[in-house]
């Protein structure tokens, strides 16, 4: 099955997404495996100030992002993947929790659009409108229970988790295969075993003898035990 190959991000802070040109994701773009567009929401504004927010109906603190610039921006980026189903990811602290399982699921969408709000978030009619629009799927997603200033950092997290799952992005697919054994939705999470490299002794601390033994069966057994101990002792 073919994987996701186009990502578009809409934000009032395009520079926040600059790290997408680096490392693994930068190489995936350079090799043509994926395309990423970063779009400035303010390009869709009509007034001299480039206003994207307004006071909340019903009162309350802070400002809410107006629906019209979002509608224009989303319609425009949808045209960049004609004929595809567009999956709109709206970042919000109230969203579904992002997990490895969701990362895996999102690799099956050909076109992902990330809506990065600021202020108190985006007028909910944007989600509602595209949920009903044909050719769109919409998900409201959160990366965890802490409060960020906007959706940009969450988008970086989610895109990195998805892109490294795309076939050909990671040089050594054996490491992905190993992850799928330790990170499964059914059996829960088994945290990784401890890693060591040279030198054999560092500041009085030694590498466990078993790892120097060359006995691959015993090493696998020891690593599994260590992973189980760490899983049990990990603070929630
Ligand atoms: C998108 C704006 C800032 C701050 C009100 C009321 C919320 C919005 N895991 C995650 N944490 N935060 C985000 C996230 C934050 C965002 C936007 C994502 C757009 N903001 C913002 C405060 C509030 N608070 C009390 O409950 C908490 C709303 C995120 C993700 N993904």
Query: pLDDT 10s per residue in the chain (236 long)?
Result: 789 899 999 999 999 999 999 999 999 999 999 999 999 999 999 999 999 999 999 999 999 999 999 999 999 999 999 999 999 999 999 999 999 999 999 999 999 999 999 999 999 999 999 999 999 999 999 999 999 999 999 999 999 999 999 999 998 888 887 887 666 544 568 999 999 999 999 999 999 999 999 999 999 999 999 999 999 999 98
Ligand 1 proximity of 93 Cβ (cutoff 6 Å) = yes
Phi, psi of 40 (to 5 degrees): -85, 115
Ligand 1 proximity of 117 Cβ (cutoff 6 Å) = yes
Ligand 1 proximity of 69 Cβ (cutoff 6 Å) = no
The sign of the CA dihedral 163, 19, 35, 80 is positive
What are the strands, taking DSSP E only, across the chain? 6-11, 35-40, 53-54, 64-65, 86-97, 111-115, 136-142, 183-184, 188-189, 201-202, 205-206
As a whole number of angstroms, the distance between CA 86 and CA 135 comes to 6
Alpha helices in 34-170 (DSSP H): 67-78, 100-106, 125-132, 152-163
Rounded to the nearest whole angstrom, what is the distance from the C-alpha of residue 93 to the centroid of ligand 1?
Answer: 4
> What does the block give as tokens for 154?
């969450």
Which residue has a Cα nearest atom 26 of ligand 1? 93
* Residue 79 neighbours by CB under 8 Å, 6+ apart: none
Model pTM above 0.85? yes
Domains contained in the chain, CATH given: 3-162 (3.40.1280.10), 171-231 (1.10.1270.20)
Closest listed residue to residue 162, CA positions, set 87, 77, 54 = 87
Ligand 1 proximity of 151 Cβ (cutoff 6 Å) = yes
With the most atoms of ligand 1 within 8 angstroms of its CB, the residue from 91, 93, 154 to mutate is: 93
Ligand 1 proximity of 148 Cβ (cutoff 6 Å) = yes
Which residue has a Cα nearest atom 10 of ligand 1? 93
Give the count of beta carbons closer than 10 Å to the beta carbon of residue 202: 11
């Amino acid at each position: 099955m073919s994987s996701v190959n186009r990502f578009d991000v809409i934000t009032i802070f395009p520079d926040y997404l600059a790290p997408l040109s680096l490392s693994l994701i930068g190489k995936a773009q350079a090799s043509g495996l994926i395309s990423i567009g970063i779009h400035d929401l303010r390009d869709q504004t009509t007034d001299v100030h480039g206003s994207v927010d307004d006071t909340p109906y019903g009162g309350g603190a802070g400002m809410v992002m107006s629906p019209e610039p979002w509608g224009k921006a989303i319609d425009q980026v949808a045209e960049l993947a004609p004929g595809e189903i567009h999956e709109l990811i709206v970042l919000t602290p109230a969203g579904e929790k992002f997990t490895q399982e969701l990362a895996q699921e999102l690799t099956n969408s050909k076109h992902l659009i990330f809506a990065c709000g600021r202020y108190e978030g985006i007028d909910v009619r944007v989600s509602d409108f595209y949920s009903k629009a044909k050719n769109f799927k919409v998900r409201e997603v959160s990366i965890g229970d802490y409060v960020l200033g906007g959706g940009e950092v969450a988008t970086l997290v989610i895109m990195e988790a998805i892109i490294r799952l795309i076939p050909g992005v990671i040089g050594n697919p054996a490491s992905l295969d190993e992850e799928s054994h330790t990170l499964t939705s059914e059996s829960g999470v088994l945290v990784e075993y401890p890693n060591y490299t040279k030198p054999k002794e560092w500041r009085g601390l030694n590498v466990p003898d078993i790892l120097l033994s060359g006995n691959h069966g015993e090493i696998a057994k020891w690593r599994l035990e260590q992973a189980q101990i760490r899983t049990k002792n990990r603070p929630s």
